[in-house]
Structure 1
Amino acid sequence: MWTDPPVVCQWQEPRNLWTSNYINDYKFNEDKLTVQFRTGVLWPIGIATLRYGNMPYQGWDMKPDPEGKGVIITVTGVCITVTWLCIGNKVQLKWIANATTSALKEHFNKPYNVKRMVQLYSLKIMREAACDFFPDFDAHNQIEATCPKEWVMERHNYHAMAFLSRAYNFQWSRWNVGAGNRSIVMQIREAVDKQREAKFQLLQVTPQRATILKCMELSQEFSAEPIVGLQFYPDLFTLNMSYGSVDARRTSFNMKYRLVETVFDLLQELKVCSYS
Structure 2
Amino acid sequence: MKKSDHCLLSWKRTRLQSPSGDKKTDSRAKAKWDRYMRCDGSPDPSVQQEINTFINLWCEDPEVQIKPILKECALALRLLEELEGMLRDQPEPADALRYQETLLSIQTLIQSKLDHSTEEILKWANAHSDIETGNMQTDDIITLCLWANLNKNPRHVTDVWFQFEEVGLGFELPKQLAVSDVAVRILHTHYDHLSHLANLKSQNPSRMSLGLGTREELLLEGATPVGECGEMEGDGDRRGSTQQGGAEEEVQSVRGSEGRKSAVSVISMKEEGRSGQKQLEDAQQKLEENGSQIDTMLEGDDSGEGDSTPTPMDPVIDSYEGQVVDLQQYTPLGGVFYCDVFRLPPQSQQLNGWEMRELLDTGLQPFPYPTEQTQIQGSASMKLEDSGVLTSPPVGVTVTLPDSVLFLEDPQVARWDPEGQHWKTDCISETSYDQAERKISFKMDSFYAFTLLQDSYANMPFQSWELRPLGQDSALLTITAALTEVSITIKARTRYLKCMLQSDQERGLNHILGQWMSPSGLQKAMVSAGVNIFVNQYSDKYVSVNAKDPLIEHAVYEQMALLSSAFAFSWSQWNTQCGHERLVLQVCEHLDPVPVREDSWCVYLLGARRSQRLRIKEHSEAFSPELDPGSEFHSTFLHMLRDGMSPAGQERRSHHLFVDAVHRLLRATRPLTYS
TM-score, normalization: structure 1? Answer: 0.87
Q: Paired residue for 2:505?
A: 98
In the TM superposition, residue 151 of structure 1 has moved relative to its aligned partner by 2.0
Q: Is the 1:240–1:249 Cα contact (8 Å) retained in structure 2?
A: no
**DSSP-derived class of the 1:64 partner:** strand
Which of 476, 480, 485 is the aligned partner of 1:76? 480
In the alignment, the residues of structure 2 paired with residue 21 and residue 192 of structure 1 have an alpha-carbon distance, to the nearest angstrom, of 56
Q: Is the 1:58–1:76 Cα contact (8 Å) retained in structure 2?
A: yes
More strand per residue: 1 or 2? Answer: 1
Q: Paired residue for 2:412?
A: 7
In the alignment, the residues of structure 2 paired with residue 56 and residue 258 of structure 1 have an alpha-carbon distance, to the nearest angstrom, of 29
Write the mapping of 1:1-276 to structure 2, written as runs, cut at 5 A.
1-65=406-470, 69-88=473-492, 89-99=496-506, 101-103=507-509, 105-114=510-519, 116-117=520-521, 122-123=523-524, 125-144=525-544, 146-192=545-591, 199-251=600-652, 254-276=653-675
The amino acid that maps onto 1:167 is A
In the TM superposition, residue 193 of structure 1 has moved relative to its aligned partner by 6.1
**DSSP-derived class of the 2:441 partner:** strand
Q: Is the 2:566–2:591 Cα contact (8 Å) retained in structure 1?
A: yes
Q: Is the 2:469–2:592 Cα contact (8 Å) retained in structure 1?
A: no
In the alignment, the residues of structure 2 paired with residue 69 and residue 15 of structure 1 have an alpha-carbon distance, to the nearest angstrom, of 49
In the alignment, the residues of structure 2 paired with residue 271 and residue 18 of structure 1 have an alpha-carbon distance, to the nearest angstrom, of 29
In the alignment, the residues of structure 1 paired with residue 657 and residue 526 of structure 2 have an alpha-carbon distance, to the nearest angstrom, of 25
The amino acid that maps onto 1:239 is M
More helix per residue: 1 or 2? Answer: 2
In the alignment, the residues of structure 2 paired with residue 91 and residue 148 of structure 1 have an alpha-carbon distance, to the nearest angstrom, of 31
**DSSP-derived class of the 1:91 partner:** strand
In the alignment, the residues of structure 1 paired with residue 516 and residue 481 of structure 2 have an alpha-carbon distance, to the nearest angstrom, of 23
1:249-269 CA-partner distances (Å, limit 9, x unpaired): 333xx2222221221121111
Q: Is the 2:459–2:482 Cα contact (8 Å) retained in structure 1?
A: yes
1:82-122 CA-partner distances (Å, limit 9, x unpaired): 111111152322312235x132x3233443332x33xxx53
In the TM superposition, residue 241 of structure 1 has moved relative to its aligned partner by 2.4
In the alignment, the residues of structure 2 paired with residue 87 and residue 154 of structure 1 have an alpha-carbon distance, to the nearest angstrom, of 24
In the alignment, the residues of structure 2 paired with residue 169 and residue 127 of structure 1 have an alpha-carbon distance, to the nearest angstrom, of 26
1:22-71 CA-partner distances (Å, limit 9, x unpaired): 221111011111101112122211111101111111111111115x6511
The amino acid that maps onto 2:640 is L
Q: Is the 2:469–2:593 Cα contact (8 Å) retained in structure 1?
A: no
The amino acid that maps onto 1:96 is S
In the TM superposition, residue 209 of structure 1 has moved relative to its aligned partner by 1.5
In the TM superposition, residue 161 of structure 1 has moved relative to its aligned partner by 0.9
Distance change (3 Å), C-alpha of 1:97 and 1:179? farther
1:138-158 CA-partner distances (Å, limit 9, x unpaired): 2111112x1232222122111
In the alignment, the residues of structure 2 paired with residue 245 and residue 138 of structure 1 have an alpha-carbon distance, to the nearest angstrom, of 41
**DSSP-derived class of the 2:451 partner:** strand
Answer with 1 or 2: which has the greater Rg.
Answer: 2
Distance change (3 Å), C-alpha of 1:58 and 1:91? farther
Q: Is the 2:508–2:529 Cα contact (8 Å) retained in structure 1?
A: no
Q: Is the 1:57–1:272 Cα contact (8 Å) retained in structure 2?
A: yes
In the alignment, the residues of structure 1 paired with residue 444 and residue 497 of structure 2 have an alpha-carbon distance, to the nearest angstrom, of 46
Residue identity (%): 20
The amino acid that maps onto 1:70 is S
In the alignment, the residues of structure 1 paired with residue 555 and residue 518 of structure 2 have an alpha-carbon distance, to the nearest angstrom, of 21
Between 1:204-213 and 1:193-202, the stretch displaced more is: 193-202
In the alignment, the residues of structure 2 paired with residue 211 and residue 222 of structure 1 have an alpha-carbon distance, to the nearest angstrom, of 14
In the alignment, the residues of structure 2 paired with residue 217 and residue 165 of structure 1 have an alpha-carbon distance, to the nearest angstrom, of 21
Q: Is the 2:577–2:623 Cα contact (8 Å) retained in structure 1?
A: no
The amino acid that maps onto 2:650 is R
1:204-263 CA-partner distances (Å, limit 9, x unpaired): 111112211111111111111221242221122100222333333333xx2222221221
In the TM superposition, residue 172 of structure 1 has moved relative to its aligned partner by 0.7
Q: Is the 2:610–2:634 Cα contact (8 Å) retained in structure 1?
A: yes
The amino acid that maps onto 2:502 is W
**DSSP-derived class of the 2:585 partner:** strand
TM-score, normalization: structure 2? Answer: 0.37
Q: Is the 1:162–1:261 Cα contact (8 Å) retained in structure 2?
A: yes
For this pair of structures, how many residues does the alignment match?
A: 265
**DSSP-derived class of the 2:612 partner:** strand
The amino acid that maps onto 1:102 is G
